[in-house]
């Protein structure tokens, strides 16, 4: 096992960069619809675990169907938040402060940046993001939440952090 030192290069997987690019791909697919942090957390999971959605036209999952993968959502939300800040700093994501709260959209520079990403994984990610957007973009947040609750009801429950008494 590699020893972690202060000078070690950052790990490329599950990093803010990887998650930010995935969020950007999703936001570009949903354009012009904006997504809030909760929706992006759901879509970040769904875009790589499309097999969790029932249907005949569902593309296969990009990532392995590991047991308890829905628990990833507990740790993904903070990572997605950090990744969106990174994408905002490089002008690829716009933050919108609207009546319904803060939401995010792909910036006008996003399409040209994403067009440069041609690795097989990224191409498949874009296809799945487009499929997710076609299926969910016209739905309201409440409708998406209902669908997520119906298909994978445990997700909403897993976002709840139990309160513990300090006494």
Mean pLDDT, 10 residues at a time, the chain of 167 residues: 56 82 97 93 90 86 77 78 96 95 97 96 96 93 80 53 40
Q: What is the pLDDT of residue 165?
A: 40
Q: What is the pTM of this model?
A: 0.82
Q: What pLDDT is recorded for position 110? A: 97
* CA–CA separation, 36 and 95 (whole Å): 10
Write down the pLDDT at residue 8: 62
Within its chain, how far is the Cα of 9 from the centroid? 24
CB atoms within 10 A of CB 127: 16
- pLDDT value at residue 153: 58
Helix (H) or strand (E) holding 129: helix 120-136
What is the pLDDT, as a whole number, of residue 37?
92
Contact 17, 95 (CB under 8 A): no
């Amino acid at each position: 096992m590699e020893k972690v030192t202060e000078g070690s290069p950052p790990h490329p997987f599950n990093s803010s960069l990887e998650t930010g690019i995935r969020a950007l791909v999703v936001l570009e697919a949903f354009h012009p619809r904006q997504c809030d942090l909760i929706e992006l957390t759901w879509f970040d999971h769904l875009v790589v675990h499309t097999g969790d959605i029932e249907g005949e036209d569902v593309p296969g999952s990009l990532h392995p169907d590991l047991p308890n993968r829905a628990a990833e959502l507990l740790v993904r939300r903070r990572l997605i938040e950090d990744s969106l800040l990174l994408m905002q700093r490089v002008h690829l994501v716009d933050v919108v402060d609207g009546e319904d709260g803060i939401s995010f959209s792909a910036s006008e520079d996003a399409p040209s940046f994403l067009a440069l990403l041609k690795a097989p994984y990224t191409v498949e990610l874009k296809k799945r993001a487009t499929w997710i957007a076609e299926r969910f973009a016209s739905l309201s947040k409440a409708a998406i939440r209902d669908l997520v609750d119906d298909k994978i009801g445990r997700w909403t429950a897993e976002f709840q952090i139990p309160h513990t008494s300090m006494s």
